């Protein structure tokens, strides 16, 4: 499966875990990685460190948008980049090369690429706004985004750029991906590991060695790791780890619910597949199955 990962690695630790998974998943042909939100060039260097440690310095990495489309961003730093000094990595310029890279790859591989977006939706929104035909040329748009169940509510990736989320979920005029699925906060919160257990587990695998260093920055303020983004990555290959429902996801563009992902389960058209439950044991088995 041809995958491009769009990530805000460096804030929460789960992005780094998702990238490491893709590098060890034998069914994954990772065409490249794009970074998004504040200090995307430092985030790109973190991706480079993980790829080089895994013996994959050939993976293309491109710097994306540092700011949201319209609003001030809420995510102001890439704290885990403090640990980069321990690892060999490429340094990147700050100019945005991600959108052109995405556009070129999608058009060179029509109907074949799964775009896995696990950060704020700014790069995806920019891509679909400037190249509205590209959405329909994907094989799949896979997201860690949203909060869909019970009474809903805000979710970090969506509210960091509501305009981009609006575009990404097809609330605008662009084409629609043949498949579009989301793992939301309601479900990803069921995939957690304590700080103590994670420290032991991350040190078991060479591919996770830089991730373990980045995680120590995360552990300064969190006693757990929640595998939000790795769940979306695993679902690209093993969707059966989750239970799904179809809906149309509407993104309000004004208060009090701006940027919320509100599902209409009874809509006439239901282009969005939403995870509504997860078998967490099966997920962790799938995640660590090919780690080395």
Residue 125 clears pLDDT 90, i.e. is over it: yes
What's the CA gap between 80 and 13, in Å, rounded? Answer: 8
CATH number of the domain enclosing 182: 3.90.245.10
Closest CA to 273 of 188, 185, 169: 169
- Identify the CA nearest to 236 among candidates 17, 14, 25: 25
CA–CA distance, 37 with 76 (Å, rounded to integer): 8
Q: What is the DSSP string of 90-108?
A: ----SS--HHHHHHHHHHH
Cis peptide before 256 (omega within 30 of 0): yes
Structural domain count, the chain? 1
Q: What is the pLDDT of residue 96?
A: 96
Per the listing, tokens 């440690």 go with 53
- Averaged pLDDT for residues 66-80: 91
Number of helices and strands in the chain (H, E)? 12, 11
- Judged against a pLDDT cut of 90, whether residue 151 lies above it is answered with no
Opening angle at CA 125, ends 19 and 117, nearest 5:
15
Confidence tier at 172 by pLDDT (50, 70, 90): confident
User: Across all residues in the chain, what is the average pLDDT?
Assistant: 96
- Look at the alpha carbons of 28, 33, 37, 38 in this order and tell me if their dihedral is positive or negative: positive
Domain residues for the domain of 88 are 2-288
Helix (H) / strand (E) element for 226: namely strand 224-226
Tokens of 204: 């078991």
The secondary structure element, H or E, covering residue 148 is none
């Amino acid at each position: 499966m041809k995958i491009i990962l769009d990530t805000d690695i460096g804030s929460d630790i789960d992005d780094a875990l998702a990238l490491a998974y893709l590098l060890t998943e034998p069914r994954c042909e990772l065409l490249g990685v794009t970074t998004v939100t504040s200090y995307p060039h430092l985030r790109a260097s973190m991706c480079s460190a993980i790829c080089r440690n895994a013996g994959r310095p050939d993976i293309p990495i491109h710097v994306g948008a540092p700011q949201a489309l319209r609003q001030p961003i809420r995510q102001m730093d890439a704290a885990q980049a403090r640990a980069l000094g321990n690892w060999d990595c490429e340094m990147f310029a700050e100019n945005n090369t991600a959108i052109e890279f995405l556009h070129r790859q999608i058009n060179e591989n029509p109907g074949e690429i799964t775009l896995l977006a696990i950060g704020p939706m700014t790069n995806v929104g920019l891509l679909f706004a400037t190249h509205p035909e590209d959405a329909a040329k994907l094989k799949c748009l896979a997201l860690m985004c949203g909060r869909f169940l019970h009474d809903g509510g805000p979710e970090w990736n969506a509210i960091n750029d509501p305009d981009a989320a609006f575009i990404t979920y097809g609330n605008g005029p662009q084409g629609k991906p043949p498949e579009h699925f989301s793992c939301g906060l309601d479900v990803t919160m069921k995939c957690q590991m304590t700080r103590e257990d994670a420290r032991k587990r991350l040190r078991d695998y060479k591919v996770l060695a830089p991730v373990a260093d980045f995680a120590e920055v995360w552990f300064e303020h969190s006693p757990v790791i929640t595998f939000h983004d790795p769940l979306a990555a695993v679902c690209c290959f093993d969707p059966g780890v989750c239970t799904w429902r179809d809906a149309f996801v509407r993104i309000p563009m004004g208060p009090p619910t701006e940027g919320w992902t509100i599902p209409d389960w009874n809509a006439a058209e239901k282009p969005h597949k939403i995870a509504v439950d997860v078998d967490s044991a099966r997920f962790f088995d799938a995640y660590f199955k090919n780690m080395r």
